[in-house]
Copies of this chain bind each other. A is one copy, B any other.
Amino acid sequence: MSGICPKAGRRALAQKIKLSTIADALGVSTATVSLALRDSPLVADATRQRIKEHARTIGYIYNRRAASLRTSRSGIVGVVVHDIMNPFFAEILRSIESELDRSRQTFLLSNHYDQLEKQRTFIDTLLQLGADGVIMSPAIGTPPEDIMLAEENGLPAVLIARSVDGARVPVFRGDDAYGIGLATNHLISLGHTRIAMVGGTDHTSTGRDRYRGYVVAMQKAGLEVKPEWRFPGPRTKQAGFEMTGAFLALKDKPTAAVCWNDLVAIGLMNGIARAGLTPGVDISVTGYDDLEEAAIATPALTTVWNGQREVGRRAARVLLDRLNGVEVDPTQVLIKPELHVRQSSVRPVER
């Protein structure tokens, strides 16, 4: 039984191949090799080709640590969000990924799970690695100093999805108050008057803005906003599902629920179905985000498209601009959401 010796690979290489290995073999200087490999016009075509060819055949591996130590650019961009496995971030991350790929930046991803300590550890790691910049959806309670600390140590930051008061950096997020207003007004226009808001937290800018948008829409329509119609907390399918009992137990039961996001909405619809009622018939439900699965839920979910792709793309571009020395406004950009009406919202059964 032969095991793997963990360092066998390293040892198997007769000698680590480096720039000087190539330089020696071809009788040129390391400076020339370095320039040639990076396609500098300072090197003659023929020389460059010889060098690149040789590098390829001997299996040269560029040492980015050494280069980065010298140039103080690492080609690394950090991205930290609450939870990368949350489908809400999926589209954002994909569009960031495709922007960064194009600029050959390596994309270092992390979750902070809304724990400030985790977020700090990650930023610290980025600083230690000499990362070029960071895109973050800040954890609940992030003080502006945490972001400015990064900035002051040469790690420019761009925020997505949530803002942090007092942090002078660019922010890209959906216009949450407006978006939730679209959903609320849609339900009102269908004839609903008792509308609950399920999920979300007041500890984030997003949460506050969405709740405010709901309240404003209700009040504008002259409808009552009862405190017991607000179910703060849930942000996952599971939590939405578990909230169903409390929701259905309300006397004067609402005929519709504006949900914090699609996950909560789908969880709630599952809960309603499990209780023997029919979501989208007995109780109208709206979501937020327009995840892929909103369209295939049963019933198909009426929801608010949140411009995720746009948020990711623009955040990445602005960060790349900053890395390239372009001056950038440290202001908040709100992306306009759109209502996507499907089958989960209908006229109220009773009146």
Contacting residues, chain B, for A330 (C-beta < 8 A) = 3-4
Is B130 touching A63 in the complex (CB atoms < 8 A)?
yes
In the complex, the chain B residue whose C-beta lies closest to that of A128 is B64
Q: Is A97 an interface residue (CB 8 A)?
A: yes
Contacting residues, chain B, for A94 (C-beta < 8 A) = 85
Q: Is A13 an interface residue (CB 8 A)?
A: yes
Is B85 touching A90 in the complex (CB atoms < 8 A)?
yes
Q: Shortest 9 CB-CB distances between A and B: which pairs? A: A3-B327, A10-B154, A6-B322, A85-B90, A64-B128, A273-B298, A241-B296, A109-B109, A9-B154
Q: Is A127 an interface residue (CB 8 A)?
A: yes
In the complex, the chain B residue whose C-beta lies closest to that of A321 is B6
Is A9 touching B155 in the complex (CB atoms < 8 A)?
yes
Q: Is A21 an interface residue (CB 8 A)?
A: no
| Nearest Cβ on chain B to A164's Cβ, whole angstroms | 15
Is B129 touching A65 in the complex (CB atoms < 8 A)?
yes
Picked from B84, B125, B298, the residue with its CB within 8 Å of the CB of A109 is: B84
Per-residue contact bits, chain A 127-158, to B (CB 8 Å; 1 contact, 0 not): 11110000000000000000000011111100
Copies in the complex: 2
Complexed CA–CA distance, A151 and B155 (Å)? 33
Q: Is A39 an interface residue (CB 8 A)?
A: no
Is A292 touching B65 in the complex (CB atoms < 8 A)?
no
| Nearest Cβ on chain B to A124's Cβ, whole angstroms | 8
A40-48, A66-74, A192-200: which lies at the B interface?
A: A66-74
Q: Is A270 an interface residue (CB 8 A)?
A: yes
Is A237 touching B292 in the complex (CB atoms < 8 A)?
yes
Complexed CA–CA distance, A232 and B322 (Å)? 47
Is A323 touching B267 in the complex (CB atoms < 8 A)?
no
Contacting residues, chain B, for A274 (C-beta < 8 A) = 298
Q: Is A231 an interface residue (CB 8 A)?
A: no
Is B9 touching A152 in the complex (CB atoms < 8 A)?
yes
Is B153 touching A9 in the complex (CB atoms < 8 A)?
yes
Picked from B130, B292, B325, the residue with its CB within 8 Å of the CB of A6 is: B325
Contacting residues, chain B, for A168 (C-beta < 8 A) = 4
Q: Is A5 an interface residue (CB 8 A)?
A: yes
List CB contacts (< 8 Å) of A266-297 with chain B.
267, 270-271, 273-274, 292-293, 296-297
Contacting residues, chain B, for A205 (C-beta < 8 A) = none
In the complex, the chain B residue whose C-beta lies closest to that of A169 is B4
Q: Is A349 an interface residue (CB 8 A)?
A: no
Is A3 touching B296 in the complex (CB atoms < 8 A)?
no
| Nearest Cβ on chain B to A52's Cβ, whole angstroms | 15
Q: Is A238 an interface residue (CB 8 A)?
A: yes
Complexed CA–CA distance, A327 and B127 (Å)? 34
Complex A-B: 29 CB contacts under 8 Å: A1-B329, A3-B329, A4-B169, A4-B170, A4-B327, A4-B330, A5-B327, A6-B156, A6-B321, A9-B151, A9-B155, A12-B152, A13-B152, A62-B128, A65-B74, A65-B129, A66-B69, A84-B109, A85-B85, A85-B87, A106-B108, A106-B129, A108-B108, A237-B292, A237-B293, A241-B296, A270-B296, A274-B298, A298-B298
